[in-house]
Structure 1
């Protein structure tokens, strides 16, 4: 299967979400405009996720957590993804709510995201109320353990909530894609993610929230904290708007209305376990070629997570020579670097947004395997370049270094568009060849994403501290993983034919 052509003769549109081997929902006619609006919730979720990636690693260090410990904080993401997404994907495949299979999970997750964001944003104030130092935050730079605990709880809740939404949201797009096909649906989803990134990173790079909303600044919450609160409050409002539009335009057919009449076989199927262990039972029903996709996906994300988790911290430490727990001048330099990193991520997201429209044509012309493997080699070169740039920054202070950093951020937008789109499109097509199971397959694919995050979260901080080179060792390892993933992908990824890819992506048979 790894070397043969995968000929898919079953369109995913509408049917991608059924459970494998069970009743599959008939295609629901939907216009392209309506499909675009149905995926808007992805933009709302990604807005908050962008803020989380760009601001929270630097912010938690102002509460007293060391740089090495911040990597352990990110363990909640993979744990949530490992447990929540596959279970939610499985349950949403069989949900019989009158509101549809996916929308109840999407709405629940968005409500929980809003609550979690408030905990994170107001953690310093809550910590002060629980007994942290009463000194003004402008002069006190010590540990604030109550605030840190509240922050970590909110952070974990935010990751669990994000995972509750992401799987069903992707499966919803595949369910509704119809004649437009899963590739077009993934491109739309990726475009909304890019827009959410642009808005989120723009908010993260703004240093005026505390001026526009002066009531956000308190004795426990200085300028950086007030800016964080302002950006997250706007994120909640935007998420609510996106959720409302998705709920309105994503019309689903209730699962119970399309189920066949009870038979002995159906009763036996319904008697099967439906808890978390059912996810692992479902692994044996994965489409042929899915295992290879999982292996390459895991290696690809190993090359991305160091940069995703530490990009703004890298700018603050290595490029701007700052320290969040140092002198006032060092702290100011660090915060300036974090804002510069957020601006770099904004440029990255703009390139990501435009690139997302190129992925489908590239896959039709070159094939998904070539596009995916090529993007991994691009990441290998980019991650290796960060080491050279960091060394350059230690011997000279030049604006050229910062310009080159912005170019690296922008350049990575193209392979990031591949990362956000191609693995999911390939998974959707493999699920179509099996006859359904989009929710389960998407959830299982997420396992291949979260395991690398566990490895990076456990290893990056201690590894960097052991070598004493800041974020550079983790970035060097990322370059190596990108090279390995590119080589392995050349041999393992299923060779989906361009003709087959185009037939499915246009809804043909």
Structure 2
């Protein structure tokens, strides 16, 4: 039985919840390193803090993927996990900016492990099933469109989340300065708004999407409904040890293309982790001229605190990080509008490789933008005075945005056709290892490299990320695309 095509708005509704999830991620990505640095964390410790996110993804996503493969109830197959995760994630976002008393008595690293890990786990429970939902509901001939729409929504959310604190300060007028032991009002309200949009957008997907019934799904995927039902009964009767053994065998039997894409993913996500961790410091040092000593907790304590002009420069650089993140997300949105057509015309691999190369060149050019000349910039929503070099950094963001759009869509578009339909969820979860593992490795060694090799000059760790992204572009050509319908 041929799976029916979906209208554009049906595909849109499938992924609409990603809008809110990405707002949450953008708020975290743009503010966490800056907050921890202000709390006294050294640059070398920041990458260790960020380990909480990939570790939670590594633990949560395969479990959720496997569970959603075997869930069939009135709400659906993937939708129950999206809804439950969104409720917890929204609650965590509301509580997080009100946790300042916890920060006052617990070291930043422990604070991150206890608080952010919970939020990241909830985010992972929410967004992992979205990937599988598109694979379930969208027929093969619309797969490029399906993942491109998902990428579009992700980046709209990233733009909104990235600029939200900046807008609340410079347009609405909320204070962006934090008092001792408290979070700035602009950040607090940004997280409130983000939590509201996250929950609302996921609810939209849940109530506007109707998943296929088991018999209908199996028919569309060319599977024997009775055989699948029997196999599920056998799985439920197995012991925990047998289930773990089955999961291990599933991993060993993963399609070869997953292993080939894993190399590309390693270089891509190794670079992205460095960006999210060290962009604020790199921009403050390289463009605003803040000395590396002002990121050393011992030196700051010795000097009796951070001088007002240094604090102002670090704050301005931190604000501009949000604008740059919004910039690369916006460029990703624009590229995602044409990415599916380009992939259909030139092939997924060429588009994927070109995109990663553009991102790598963007990172490598980061060191060039050092001009301290102050310039007046009209952002339409407000006007600011920033160094000329900071404005120039928007050029590398074009390449980073192109790479980001491809990273979010191309691996899944290539992979989806090679996965057995009855194990799509678990394999999508296992594929998340290729996202989490390189970030964990980056987190473990990036701080050491920055301190021991680059003497805490953060711009050079960003250039290292550029080299990794270029290697990712070359690795794409090792991938051999394939299509399957079902396992034997």
TM-score by length of 2: 0.84
Aligned-partner Cα distance in 2 for 1:320–1:108: 43
Superposed displacement of residue 328, structure 1: 2.1
Question: Paired residue for 1:488?
Answer: 475
C-alpha distance in structure 2 between counterparts of 1:458 and 1:122, whole Å: 29
Partner of 1:439: 425
Corresponding residue of 1:478: 465
Which one of 154, 173, 176 corresponds to residue 115 of structure 2? Answer: 154
Of 57, 78, 85, the match for 1:109: 85
Preserved contact between residue 268 and residue 356 of structure 2 (Cα < 8 Å): yes
Alignment: residue pair count: 452
Task: Say which of 398, 418, 425 aligns to 1:430.
Answer: 418
Partner in structure 1 of residue 328 of structure 2: 348
Write the deviation string for residues 233-278 of structure 1: whole angstroms up to 9, x where unpaired: 1001111210111111111135488652788766545445675654
CA displacement at 1:479 relative to structure 2:
2.3
Greater relative contact order, per chain length (Cα 8 Å cut-off, separation 6+): 1
Alpha-carbon distance in structure 1 between the residues aligned to 2:114 and 2:421:
40
2-structure distance, mates of 1:124, 1:220:
6
Question: What are the superposed Cα offsets for residues 470-495 of structure 1, whole Å, 9 maximum, x if unpaired?
Answer: 312322321222232222322x1114
Using the size of structure 1 for normalisation, the TM-score is 0.81
1:409 alignment counterpart: 397
Q: Residues 482 and 291 (structure 1 numbering): CA distance in 2 closer, same or farther, change over 3 Å?
A: same
Residues 130-169 of structure 1 aligned to structure 2 (within 5 Å)? 132=104, 145=106, 149-169=110-130
**Aligned partner of residue 226 in structure 2, secondary structure:** coil
Which stretches in structure 1 are left out of the alignment for 5+ residues? 1-9, 12-26, 133-143, 505-509
**Contact 1:47–1:197 (Cα < 8 Å) also in 2:** yes
Aligned to 1:22: none
> 1:126·1:147 contact (CA, 8 Å) conserved in 2?
no
Task: Tell me how far apart the structure 1 counterparts of residues 340 and 207 of structure 2 sit (CA, whole Å).
Answer: 27
Gaps of 5+ in 2: 219-224, 301-305, 376-386
In structure 1, what is the equivalent of residue 434 of structure 2? 448
1:405 Cα deviation after fit: 0.7
Offset at 1:95?
A: 0.9
1:230 to 189, 205, 208: 189
**Aligned counterpart in structure 2 of residue 297 of structure 1, from 236, 251, 265:** 265
Matched, 1:47 2:23: yes
Instruction: Classify 1:171/1:273 alpha carbon distance in 2 versus 1 (closer, same or farther; 3 Å).
Output: farther
* Inter-partner Cα distance in structure 2 for 1:264 and 1:145: 51
1:78-98 CA-to-partner distances (Å, cap 9, x unmatched) read: 211211111111110111222
| 1:30 to partner: Cα distance | 4.0
| CA-to-aligned-CA distance 1:325-368 (integer Å, 9 cap, x gap) | 62222111111111111111112111111111211111111111
Change in 2 beyond 3 A, CA 1:73/1:311? same
In the aligned structure 2, how far is the partner of 1:39 from the partner of 1:112?
19
Residues 440, 401 of structure 1: alpha-carbon distance in 2 compared, 3 angstrom cutoff: same
Query: For 1:199 and 1:167, how far apart are their aligned partners in 2?
Result: 21
Equivalent pair of 1:321/1:334 in contact (CA under 8 Å):
no
Root mean square deviation, CA, Å: 3.0
8 Å contact kept, 1:72–1:457:
yes
Matches within 5 A, 1:107-256: 107-127=83-103, 132=104, 145=106, 149-178=110-139, 181-206=142-167, 208=169, 220-221=181-182, 225-255=184-214
Does the 8 A contact of 1:303 with 1:379 survive in 2? Answer: no
SS in 1 for 2:393: helix
Offset at residue 408 of structure 1 (A) = 1.4
Aligned-residue offset at 1:461: 1.5
Residue of structure 2 equivalent to 1:312:
280
CA distance in 1, matches of 2:176, 2:328: 32
1:368/1:178 Cα in 2 relative to 1: closer, same or farther (>3 Å)? closer
CA distance in 1 between partners of 2:45 and 2:179 (Å): 27
Contact 1:373–1:489 (Cα < 8 Å) also in 2: yes
CA distance in 2, matches of 1:357, 1:253: 28
Q: Evaluate the alpha carbon distance shift between residue 208 and residue 270 of structure 1 in structure 2; reply closer, same or farther with a 3 A threshold.
A: same
Deviation at 1:299, TM superposition (A): 2.2
| Cα deviation, residue 40, structure 1 | 0.9
CA distance in 1 between partners of 2:153 and 2:116 (Å): 23
SS, match of residue 362 in structure 2: helix
334, 339, 361: which is aligned to 1:359?
339
Separation of aligned partners in 1, 2:438 and 2:227:
43
Structure 1 position 421 matched with structure 2 position 389:
no
Look up the match of 2:384.
Answer: none
Q: Is the 8 A contact 1:119 1:151 kept in 2?
A: no
Q: CA deviation at 1:116?
A: 2.1
Between the aligned partners of 2:36 and 2:117, the Cα distance in structure 1 is 13
